[in-house]
Amino acid sequence: MLLALVLFLGSAIAIYVCCEFFVNGVEWVGHRLNVSQTATGTILAAFGTALPESVVTFVAVVFGHTPGAREIGIGAALGGPLALSTLGYGVVGLTLLASADRRLTNKDRVDADCRALSRDQGWFLGIFVVKVALGLLIFAAKPWFGALFLLAYAAYVWKELRGAGVVGEAEDLEPLRLRPGAAVPGVGWALLQTGAAMIAIFFASRIFVDQLGVIGPLLGLPPQLVALLLSPVATEMPETMNAIIWVRQGKERLALSNISGAMMIQATIPTVIGLFGTPWLFDRPLIIAGIVTGLAVVFLFLTFRAGIVTGRRLSLSALFYLVFVGALLLLH
């Protein structure tokens, strides 16, 4: 138990340090490729940070030889969007509230593209409703819906890359960690740092999740609850750490778009894996997770659509996760 706790805390610290290198690198990649800040967060950063949770689903579904292992895969596929839509945005809100150097009168007001964020939540909600509905039905052609989810994500990427947005200025970026003396580092160096940090995040996240597999049973938690409650929180650590780092730097636009883009990946890619590798049928805990996620996304959609986004309002998203935990405890 002691070793598991040491590895658990050590890997969490490693994830944060690696995320410092990752966000620094991915900002320079976006700048050198002339990609807007929004697309840098929703596509480039989200792709890298969404790898750990997608790997959990892939390993559980493809290499799991028991129904329990496949349940973990389905739970991780549904738990990821739950953690991002509740704890992810909640952490951004709490970090904004904790920031002492907000320069505006309304000190926790968020600098964000609310129109794009509300549109992303709308996209996610439409895809997520289909995702949950498939978990309630039994029919032979269900696996083929996986292709539709892939097409949906491809359409989202195409939309984000074509959309207009603000491209970060070089003077607004911190020097690339691998080339601190270069005013404008080469794109190859930026890609090298981003890729190396992403690989390190992947391995640190795997250690983090593995320790949950040890700690969960010691706490008396069954595999499905570990998959729904603990595993998503662990695998969403990169997005959460990125959000904290960017908010501390005053780059809320990147923080929010990273979570938004990661939610779109979680709504599609793990679902494809689950549809092809499992019966994709939901029991009561998974149904509860789907309902709470849907409610959280509706709240976020209305918040972004109103165009008045503050740290206080975003922090309320975390309450939905507490509702989910309470419902699971009552159920079990």
pLDDT, one tens digit per residue, over 248-267 is 888 888 888 889 888 988 88
Residue 306 belongs to what H/E stretch? Answer: helix 284-306
| pTM confidence score | 0.82
pLDDT tens string 96-130 = 888 755 544 445 567 678 888 898 899 999 999 99
Are the C-beta atoms of 294 and 187 separated by less than 8 Å?
A: no
**Long-range contacts formed by 99-103: CB under 8 A, 24+ apart:** 99/247, 99/248, 99/311
Distances, alpha carbon 232 to alpha carbons 19, 76, 142, 197, in Å: 18, 6, 25, 21
Residue with more model confidence, 220 or 139:
139
* CA dist 246 → 12, 45, 49 (Å): 18, 12, 14
pLDDT at residue 295, rounded to an integer: 97
Taking the C-alpha atoms of 236, 237, 243 and 248 in order, what is their torsion angle to the nearest 10 degrees?
170
- pLDDT category of residue 309 using cuts at 50, 70 and 90: confident
pLDDT at 104: 46
- With bands split at pLDDT 50, 70 and 90, how would you rate the model's confidence at 80? confident
pLDDT in tens, 206-221: 787 677 667 777 777 6
pLDDT of 303 > 90? The answer is yes
Render pLDDT for 20-32 as a digit per residue (tens, 0 to 9): 888 888 888 888 8
